[in-house]
Structure 1
Amino acid sequence: MPLITLTVRKPKDDAFKSAVLEAVHAALVASGVPATDRFQRVLELSAEDFRYDPSYPDVATARDEDFVLIEILWSAGRSVKVKRALLADLMQRLGAGGFDPENVMVCFKETTWENWAFAGGRLLHT
């Protein structure tokens, strides 16, 4: 169960946020995540509360007000090959949607299977 957190600067309209979240979900599904496994949240912060360097470490174009931070929390065990393929797919989808891939940062966070209780406090993978 990936949990997606999208962090952006205010103000962003629903179309902007939905386009990013749809691209992330489609890339996850293409990587093997079930289509119904959609858990997403958006943090929309003021410039004072969401600070980032415009060029670190080696971006081709400077980050701007449309910078997008995508955190993917999912179960441990996916290979670097799977992550690279997901990133390539995601950047292609975002680029096709008019987003500059240089303005997107992705952070993978991994946890073990026994740390997920999907409903009712039931640990399904223990």
Structure 2
Amino acid sequence: MPLVTITVRKPKTAAFKSAVFNAVHEALVAAGVPATDRFQRALELDEEDFRFDPSYPDLKSERNADFVLVEVLFSVGRSVKIKKKIVHDILATLSREGFDPENVMICFKETAWENWVFGGGRFIHT
């Protein structure tokens, strides 16, 4: 169960956030995540609460107010090859939507399968 969090500077339209959510979800589904396994949240922060370097480490174009930080929390076990495919698919989709790929940062976080409780206190992976 991936949990996707996007962090952006205020204000962003629903269409902007949906484009990112959809790109991430499509990439995860292509990597084997069930289509109905969709848990996403957006954090919209004021400029003083979301700071980032405009060019670190070696960007071809500077980050701007449309910078998107994508965090994907999922269970351990996906290979680097799969993670690279997910990144490629996300950026390809967002590029077609008019996003600058240099303005998108993606971070994968992994947790053990037994750390997921989907509801009702049920540990379905133990």
- TM-score band w.r.t. shorter chain: over 0.9
Other-structure match for 1:7: 7
Task: Identify the residue that residue 39 of structure 2 maps to in structure 1.
Answer: 39
Identity score, percent = 67
Q: Which residue identity lines up with residue 24 of structure 1 in the other structure?
A: V
Name the residue aligned to 1:124: 124
- Which residue is equivalent to 1:64? 64
Distance 1:35 1:96 in 2: 21
Match of 2:24 in 1: 24
- Post-superposition shift, 1:41? 0.3
TM-score, normalising length from structure 1? Answer: 0.99
**What is the TM-score normalised by the length of structure 2?**
0.99
For structure 2, list consecutive stretches of 5 or more residues without a partner in the other structure.
none
Distance in 1 between the 2:105 and 2:73 partners?
14
Match of 1:87 in 2: 87
How far apart, in 1, do the equivalents of 2:31 and 2:125 lie? 21
1:48 counterpart SS class: helix
**How far, CA to CA, are the matches of 1:119 and 1:35 in structure 2?**
19
Alpha-carbon distance between aligned partners in 2 of 1:22 and 1:50, rounded to the nearest angstrom: 23
RMSD over aligned Cα, in angstroms?
0.4
Report how many aligned residue pairs link the two structures. 126
- The CA deviation at 1:61 is 0.3
Superposed displacement of residue 15, structure 1: 0.5
CA distance in 2: counterparts of 1:108 and 1:48, whole angstroms = 25
Three-state SS of the structure 1 residue aligned to 2:48 is coil
